[in-house]
Structures are given as structure tokens and as C-alpha cells.
A and B are shown apart, each in its own frame.
Chain A
Amino acid sequence: MTVTDDHVVDILDDGPEDAGPARAGRLPTPRALYDRWEKQQWSIAEVDVRRDRESWQQLRSFARGQLFEALAELEVGEVFVSRTLSGLVTHAPTDEDRLYLSTQVADEARHAQFFQDYLHLAVGEEQTVSESGTQDADSAYGRYFEPQLRASIDRVHELGGDRAAWHTAIVEYHLVTEGVLAAAALQSTRQLARRFELAALEEGLGNVARDESRHLTYGLAATRRLVDSGQADPVFEIYRSGVVLAARVLVNPAQKAVAPVLRPALVARAAQVSAQWHAARTRAVRQLRLIGLADRHQELAAAWDAACDRAMDEYAANWGVKHPVAVVAENA
């Protein structure tokens, strides 16, 4: 995991689990992240999402479906965060944290607007998943993760900004939603955007990823401070629970997976899906180093693998057939 010269963690870095030194002690302060935010402004108007419309219409159904699904998940996540993140601002432990988190609220609003504009003006959707209110049915994040995060933010409010509750939400927002799920989605979607020459999408996702790198860095630093204060075990447990839920989001047992009948295509599809899962798993494990819990990496990796296996069992029970990844793994 790359830490840049000014110590911001690059959210799109896809190095191995043990890449890079554990330099969390040098992670930037909220003020430094605020300063970086001022220098990294961008606008949706300048991205001009309409320029992708023609390319989008020329996509074939599978590629369009893959991209649409990814964009819908990102839109649901950004809209949900934009609706709820202010709770963490209100109950931030210091004014410095509050000022930084206020910049993040602005970022999340821009991200939500970017994905909605893209879906409307480039893809041609009349309503996004969030706008139609169908995230429980149409989004794995909405179905599996959002209820947990909503409960966590409600708890912050109910307990009047209790520190433990606030940090739980930070782990779930910054480390899991952004550091694992959004990072993996941004990486794979940006690769597809590049492959299919969707220039506005590639540029917009790059901007979003730059913002998310600041957000993730803030979350890592805040969580590292908590670990250093003697809270390693509870932090690990919160993180482990979030990561287990993230694995279920990625497997998404409630949705029938694309499973080509022709075996080579099935193998190719399973490889694509496995690569996405592996990238997310790698990110989840790597982050442990930066929050001072590197010694728990095997435990976390085992929890991830077990969560994927359970979700694939759930998939088989739901659909009466094994998940394509399980089918290919059995015949490997």
C-alpha cells in the first residue's frame, strides 16, 4: 500500500498484502488533509459526462451490465454516505476533526451528484437506484451493509457522540466502505472505463479516487490513534465484522450471477469475479498494517475466506445451483 510523499494513502494502489512499510505514524493530520482538499478541487461540469453517451450506447449488453451494476453500487454508497456522514461531523472529537470531516461531506455530495449525473446523462437512466428508493432490492451494498452502517450512525446520535460508537462508525465508513468496497469498485470500474474508452467516466473515477484517498487516510489515522491508546482488540473486532459483511456484499448471494454455459467463458467469468474478491481481500488485510494490527492478518484473512464460503453456500441455497466461482474451483 503506497503512502505518498505527503503520506496520503493511495486508495487505488493494488500492491500485495505485505507491500510497503507500516508508516502509519507518519499519516497526515486532519489539518494537512484539509489543506490537500483545498488544492484538489474538481467539478462535474469540467468532466462533462455527456461526452460518454455515444460510447455507452455502443457497448454490448454484458459490458454495459457490468458497468451499470458497478455504477449503481457506487451511487448507492455515495448517496447513503452523503445522507448520514454529517452525524460524524456533529460528534467529532475535536474542531480539527470536524473541519476536515466537513470537507468530506462536500466530497461525498459531489461524488453522489457525479454518479447520478453520469447515470442520467451518459447512461440514459431516468432514475438511479437511490432516487427510486430500491436500494434494498437493487444494490448489494444497500441490502447488506447499509443497515449496519445506519445502525452505527444512529447509535452515535443516541449516545450523544460516545467515542466508541463514533470510532465504530469511522471504521465502517472509512476503512470498510471506502478502503475495501469503494476502492475495489473504483479500481475495477476504472479499468473497464479505460478498456471501453469512456473518457469522462475514467476521469471522474480518478477524481473520486483521489478524494477517497484522503478520506481513507483520515480513517486510518483516527483508527491508528485508537489502537495506540490500548483499544486494539475492540478495533479489530469492529473491523473484522465490517470486513465479513463486505465479503457478503461482494459475493451478493441474493443476485443470480452471470454463468456462461460454455466452460471456457465460465472459467473467464469466475476468474474476473475472483480477482475482484481477491483485490478487496488484499486491501482489507493491508490496512491492518497501517492501523497497527499487522499481527492479526491471518485471522482477518481467514474470516474473509470463511465469509465468502458462507455467502456462496447461501447463494447455492437461494438459486439451487452453485456460484460460478465455486463451480470452477471444484473443477480446477
Chain B
Amino acid sequence: MSSTEVAARVRQLVGEMVPSGPREVGTADRLIEDLGYNSVTMIELALVLEVEFDLQDMAGEEAMDLVTVGDIETTIARLATAG
């Protein structure tokens, strides 16, 4: 899967899991402020992404903020291709 395809799939999943109901989302959308994600739905989204992209243990991975949909796209693309 190319990074473009990964990004598109990430946006689709993020959009499907918006707490108020599925919607189309853009790279610049902020998860909490714009899309209404909270701690529970953030964790749920992360677990779905793990399964979708077969993410493995990330020992040593630096903590970073996932503020926007684009942040997730970038992170997942890096991790998915690193495996």
C-alpha cells in the first residue's frame, strides 16, 4: 500500500469513527476540536488502526501528539512502511 493509499484509508477510518456519526474528514481537521474525539474514542481509533495496518510493538517510538488527521496519516504511513 502506497503512502497515498495509507493516508486515504486513515482518513476513511477516522471519518467513520467520528463520535457524532460518520463524516468526510480532511487532513487539517483536528481530532478533538473539530471532530469531537475524546479519550475513549481516541483509544478506540488507535486500536482499529493497529488492526488495519498490522502495527506492531513500538518500543522506542517517541511520544508525539496526534492533533490532526494529517498527524495520524504521517505516523501510520511511517510505521506501516517501517514494518
How many positions in chain B have a CB within 8 Å of any CB in the partner chain? 24
Is A264 in contact with B17, judged by CB distance below 8 angstroms?
no
Asked whether any CB of chain A lies closer than 8 Å to the CB of B61, the reply is yes
Question: What does the 1/0 interface line of A252-279 toward B look like (CB < 8 Å)?
Answer: 0000001011111111110110000000
Asked whether any CB of chain B lies closer than 8 Å to the CB of A331, the reply is yes
Asked whether any CB of chain B lies closer than 8 Å to the CB of A63, the reply is yes
> Min CB distance, A260 to chain B, in Å?
4
Q: Using A261-B56, A263-B61 as known contacts, list a sample of 16 further A-B pairs with CB atoms less than 8 Å apart, ordered by residue number in A.
A: A60-B17, A62-B43, A63-B44, A258-B47, A260-B43, A261-B46, A262-B50, A262-B66, A262-B75, A263-B62, A264-B64, A265-B45, A266-B46, A268-B39, A269-B43, A272-B39
With A and B bound together, what is the CA distance between A66 and B44 in angstroms?
11
With A and B bound together, what is the CA distance between A204 and B18 in angstroms?
28
Name the contact of B39 in the complex, choosing from A61, A261, A262, A271 (C-beta under 8 A).
A271
Give the chain A neighbours of B57 by CB distance below 8 A: 261
Residue of B nearest to A63 (CB): B40
Is B55 in contact with A262, judged by CB distance below 8 angstroms?
yes
With A and B bound together, what is the CA distance between A261 and B54 in angstroms?
10
A residues in contact (CB < 8 Å) with B: 60-63, 66, 192, 195, 258, 260-269, 271-272, 331
Asked whether any CB of chain A lies closer than 8 Å to the CB of B82, the reply is no
Give the chain A neighbours of B40 by CB distance below 8 A: 62-63, 66, 192, 195, 272
Most central of A63, A261, A263, A268 by chain B CB within 10 Å? A261
Give the chain B neighbours of A258 by CB distance below 8 A: 43, 47
With A and B bound together, what is the CA distance between A266 and B75 in angstroms?
15
Is B55 in contact with A268, judged by CB distance below 8 angstroms?
no
B residues in contact (CB < 8 Å) with A: 17, 38-47, 49-50, 55-58, 61-66, 75
> Min CB distance, A179 to chain B, in Å?
26
Is B47 in contact with A264, judged by CB distance below 8 angstroms?
no
Give the chain B neighbours of A62 by CB distance below 8 A: 40, 43-44, 47
Give the chain B neighbours of A60 by CB distance below 8 A: 17, 41, 44
Is A267 in contact with B63, judged by CB distance below 8 angstroms?
yes
Residue of B nearest to A260 (CB): B46
Is B63 in contact with A264, judged by CB distance below 8 angstroms?
yes
Is A261 in contact with B43, judged by CB distance below 8 angstroms?
no
Give the chain B neighbours of A263 by CB distance below 8 A: 58, 61-64
With A and B bound together, what is the CA distance between A60 and B17 in angstroms?
9
> Min CB distance, A119 to chain B, in Å?
20
Give the chain B neighbours of A269 by CB distance below 8 A: 43
Name the contact of B47 in the complex, choosing from A192, A260, A271, A331 (C-beta under 8 A).
A260
Give the chain A neighbours of B75 by CB distance below 8 A: 262
Contacts A62-B43, A269-B43 given; does A195 touch B38 at CB 8 Å: yes
Is B64 in contact with A261, judged by CB distance below 8 angstroms?
no
